[in-house]
Structure 1
Amino acid sequence: MARLNKICFVIMGFGKKTDYSTGKTLDLDKTYKNIIQPAVESSGYQCVRADEIQDSGLIDKSMYALLMQAELVVADISTFNPNAIYELGIRHAVRPYSTIIIKEEEGKIPFDLDHNRIFHYKHLGEDIGTDESIRCQKALSKTIERVTKGSLVDSPLYDFIKDIKPPKLPQCEYRKIIGDLADREMHIFAIVEKAKDCMMNNKFEEAAKLWEKAAQTLPSEDYFLQQQALAVYKSKQPSELIALTDALRIIEELAPDGESNDPETLGLTGSIYKRMWLLNSDIECLKRAIKYYEKGFQIRNDYYTGENYALCLDMMSASEKNKEEKIYYAVAAKKARVRIIEILNDIGFSVENGDVNLEQKWAVATLSNCYYGLREDDKAKLFEDKFMLLAEAQWEKDTFTESKIKLLELTRK
């Protein structure tokens, strides 16, 4: 399931607009709902259109902030809406790349934009045909992948004038703007952004309330409930055990009968039971943690879930009195870690590969733990150092360190 972490800001006109160069009237809301929004969200971005946050028809500070800060902008210049053209100009001035221009296939293209690569689609006026919608969704998704992966310059300003630096919006100012929007409940993305900022700063109780608000606003998105459960158990309030119990109740909303096929839900449920085991030494909690982690690992070769599965097997081995059972769990843990390394190597991770990015930080952490578990400490330290550079929040570093200490305690006896 794609995670809606990154923001795509959509520049376009709203409702029915007439292209005066052709005399054709287009329902641009159909373009947004049938092409742009599904393509953007399937690519893992949260889609925000300007009218969803505006208090008035005028561009305001939140729009300026998003034009600077959004990881991706899609600008539909069909009918040459002056606001859309103006906002595209601002984006080109502040970001060298990650801007996609789209347009209905008929009509002229303004001189200042005709050198840009423009994604074309066919509009019927009142609606967009089903075949055209499907074609454009697939094609736009591929364009998004190409544009964001390659970081190719698409702004004519930065293309023609070399060695200029784009302006930066101070993070404190961006947080304030997003916080204002969230407080007014102007849009789901603002609530989510504020929740993520609270998580980053270990304000877990506040984050849990925001994730709950997001989940109530958009109940079809499992991610918000998952994050609410994570924030609740990270809060340790009013006590760690009660927080874990509350988190389990929240996550069980996604699997009322205790069954799920979503690795994220399975991994989070396993993590809650693992922490319960560490608190109360109830072996049933450890068995349940193993059950959920193992299923998550098997369903999708989910490496992070797999490493936690291996760690729980080590815990079970340490708890076992029977010698043969103790050996069985230890061997199973080793096999799981070897398999995880194979999986990550298959998708491009290796000890020699230094090109890792923020989205891959938990893969890096997993490799470090796997190598520590296999007693290959030099490789483990290499990936540990990479993870610490990528980790943004203190709780992420604390989670890794806690897991590493427990792992070494179990495997180095």
Structure 2
Amino acid sequence: MPQKKRCFVVMGFGIKTDYVNGRKLNLDKSYRLLVKPVVESRGLDCFRADEIPHSGNIDVKMYQELLEADLVIADLSTANPNALYELGVRHALRPFTTIVISEDKFVNPFNLNHLSISSYQHLGDAIDFEEVHRFREALGKLIDTVLGKKKTDSPVYTFLNSLVPPKVQEQIDAAIGRAKAAETPQKASENLGVATSLLIQEAEDAIEVKEFAKAKQLFETVRTLSGEKNDSYIIHRLAFCTYKAALPDTVSSLHQSLALLNSINLAHTNDAETVSLAGAVEKKLYEVGEGNQHLENSILYYQRSYYLLNNRYNGVNLALTLLYRATSSIAENDQERIADLVFARRTWQRVLFLCERDWPIINQKEAGDLQRMQNGNKDGQELKEYYQAEKYWIQVNKAEASYGLGDFETYRIALAEAEKIPHHPWQVDSFHQQMDKLAVELKKVGHLLEPKWEAPN
């Protein structure tokens, strides 16, 4: 039987006085009526420090639960110093799955103003029945959300987003320890291979949920463990995470990413993914004001990857960088601007062709995998999400290319079709960021085209 998840409740015991307003609150009733029944209804074991069986120092068990509990609910009512301290420890140890609650007359200390605190109404000795019902429902929904999404709720990990939780570091250290403790060189090699495979999978999982700083550290560990300083896959993923993590700042991370890509023969490689990533990094360096040479480099990289792969992603980005050049100081006259605009238009036309080509192909492949998707297992769900993503990107690529060509009717239709397909919020954000850039640049030089490009009303 799998072990039940655990919820550790941080709060005072018995009747406590709130010295700010002089009220006495029965915190045992808050725990018994508002918290414990809701947690247990979600299938979790629920306990406070006074319910932990122990021999010896209770602090050891308390710290262990603050680290390992699947969920921590901290009730800060009466500004209990122990509860405040334990909440701080939890926030330092775990980036997510912490909920903060309090009685509604609790006065926030100034340094807790950035916390999200769910309030309930306590009458002192009792809690109104309707309030019990209301808060139980609200807390239940919050628990479902927190456990389901694992979104960072610790201010420590929000503001110091390069931190790696102790659990992850523990796994890294354990993997290294197993490899070192192996009886034979062959066994050591086997253990090392298993360790690096597990760490790579954990890093890819972190990328999936946009935890790029964590993924970066994991890939750095894999690189150290394997001893392969120039493994192209590891370097490529490390460069990608470095670029996305933007630490310690955007410009530094972009230059670090570029240096990593250069270490795997960027100047001569025919690996389209590596070249495409270099195009994205150079484009971002131009966008943040690092100079025209980065734009020229980006165009060259996107051209290489576009011609190698003949795909839509590199097509739309190549067209945008050509548009950037037409509006930059690189273009010295209208003739040069028109040359880049014509090249961009031809690239958008090719993207439309690729969209029409790819749509029936992806539908045919999806039909062939229909039975696997209906199994309801992890493999089936991943396949379903893959096909949804492919269809979404085809439609938004079609919308972007149509917009660039001034065909706004096709743009609106494609965008409407994309919105019908299940997708992640970040995909929408990515598309709209690209479209905002496109619109700004086309408004500068659209009059040079024939017919003129004019923004839609």
TM-score bracket relative to the smaller structure: 0.3 to 0.5
Rg larger in structure: 2
Q: Which has the higher contact order (CA 8 A, sep 6+)?
A: 1
TM-score normalised over the length of structure 1: 0.40
